[in-house]
Amino acid sequence: MPKVNAEFMKKELDLKKLELSALLEITQAINGNLTDQDLYKIYHFTLLAQLHISRLSLFVLEDSWECKVNFGTSYNFKNGESLPDAITCLTEISYVTDLNLDAQWSEFETVVPILQNKKIIAFVFIGNSHDYYSTLGALSFVQTLSNIILVAMQNRRMARQRLAEEAIRNEIKIAREVQTMLFPKGLPNDDALAIHASYLPHSSIGGDYYDYIQIDADQFLFCIADVSGKGVPASLLMSNFQAGLRTILRQTTNLLTIVSELNFLIYCNAIAEKFITAFFGIYNRQTKVLSYVNAGHNSPVLLHENNAVQLLTEGCTMLGIFETLPFISLTEVPIPAKSLMLCYTDGLTEVFNTDEDEYGLENTIKFLQNYRYLPLPKLHEELLEEIKEHNQGSTNFHDDITLLSCRFK
């Protein structure tokens, strides 16, 4: 065998040994479940020690191009160096001298693009490498090795993201179940009155709430509320609100005390400047009098038999803003027979069409006057259909919508 061929084969054999050793080291590191930072360190020392590459920079595309590994260069490419357009458009191994780059890039001889699913995810810049790495085949191994570790890291990040998303979905599921449990299981419909409620959450977890609590044979409390914000925090605060309401109501039926205590509870437990608007009413079947406190909520509409309208506005500020409410008043309203009352959250009235016209309170009152004798479930259905038409036929509303209506027979 000629001496030249023997030397060439020995070099090739040595190269393969180095590559196998490097591949084994990288594979073991990946299987070792190390952090990304540790994997980058092993990648660094593997290329330096096993493949004798003494000058290298690895740029990885995440939100932007970032230098993750840099060694052997006089210029520190980790100082936020951006990649020139002449590099980012490369899809094949190229010589740096062919790219007409600035002086700092002249420390490298070749640039190796790393692809996944035909998309560039990284570039490896190599300079002052062992003679073996002047060949395209050897550079292709660097490309393969880099691809293996980067794709593995990317897959791990995706797996962590899936786990995080699954945890969030579980939290949302639990919060949704908690929220569903907050609503009363049944509402009265007898010879004296009928109550009906509808709830349309804007997202999977809304911030609206309604309740009905029987106090004794003659009296019941009803409530509608809206927490600022949405999602799990709003659901948890509303759960706290409901538990507080029912606990306080077992101790007293004085509405001023109930609201004041709830305000203090929300003030102490609200997170990130959250607050609650609410309307509380206690109705006495014998006296036919409604006692109420409106805590900064949209004014319920009381519609009399002659279509006259009374807005229930008096009360106090929203709950949770002040440790002690600066003012509060209790109002008592006689309820004539055949009256209709609608409580609602601002998702109903704050529906806008393409001309930025709000559906508003005026249209809500007109609707009630025109359809007041419909059964309450049908009344809600028609009202929601009307605001859907106002919203250009879409049910994609910008806020939760809750309706709580009461017909006094």
The predicted structure's pLDDT at residue 80: 80
Looking at the domain assignment, is residue 319 inside a domain? yes
Looking at the domain assignment, is residue 167 inside a domain? no
Same domain, 293 and 193: yes
Retrieve residue 296's tokens.
Answer: 């900064």
* Region for 229 from its dihedrals, namely left if φ exceeds 0, alpha if ψ lies in -120 to 50, beta otherwise: left
Which residue range is the domain that position 213 belongs to?
Answer: 183-408
Same domain, 156 and 203: no
* Domain-ending residue, one of 161, 193, 228: 161
Answer whether residue 302 shows pLDDT above 50: yes
Same domain, 142 and 200: no
Question: In which residue are the tokens 């249209």 written?
Answer: 363
CB atoms within 10 A of CB 120: 16
The predicted structure's pLDDT at residue 325: 95
Looking at the domain assignment, is residue 177 inside a domain? no
**What is the rounded radius of gyration, in angstroms, for the C-alpha atoms of the chain?**
35
SS3 of 318, please?
coil
* Domain-ending residue, one of 130, 161, 192: 161
Same domain, 9 and 91: yes
Residue 254 burial (10 A CB sphere; 0-12, 13-18, 19+): middle
* Domain-ending residue, one of 161, 194, 213: 161
| β pairing state of 208-214 and 301-303 | unpaired
Looking at the domain assignment, is residue 173 inside a domain? no
Same domain, 187 and 100: no
Same domain, 20 and 124: yes
Same domain, 151 and 88: yes
Contact (Cβ atoms closer than 8 angstroms) between residue 51 and residue 19? yes
Q: What pTM did the predictor assign?
A: 0.63
Retrieve residue 114's tokens.
Answer: 């790393």
99-156: per-residue pLDDT in tens?
A: 988 889 988 989 999 988 889 999 999 987 655 555 566 677 788 888 888 888 888 8
Same domain, 224 and 149: no
Residue 129 burial (10 A CB sphere; 0-12, 13-18, 19+): buried
Please report, for the domain that includes residue 123, its CATH number: 3.30.450.40
Same domain, 336 and 393: yes
Total count of domains within the chain: 2
Looking at the domain assignment, is residue 118 inside a domain? yes
Contact (Cβ atoms closer than 8 angstroms) between residue 229 and residue 366? no
Same domain, 135 and 225: no
Looking at the domain assignment, is residue 82 inside a domain? yes
Looking at the domain assignment, is residue 142 inside a domain? yes
Looking at the domain assignment, is residue 131 inside a domain? yes
- Band of pLDDT at residue 26, cut at 50, 70 and 90: low
Same domain, 319 and 195: yes
Same domain, 154 and 188: no
Please report, for the domain that includes residue 198, its CATH number: 3.60.40.10
- Band of pLDDT at residue 208, cut at 50, 70 and 90: confident
> 41-45, 140-144, 232-236, 335-339 — which one is most confidently predicted on average?
335-339
Q: Which residue has the higher pLDDT, 305 or 10?
A: 305
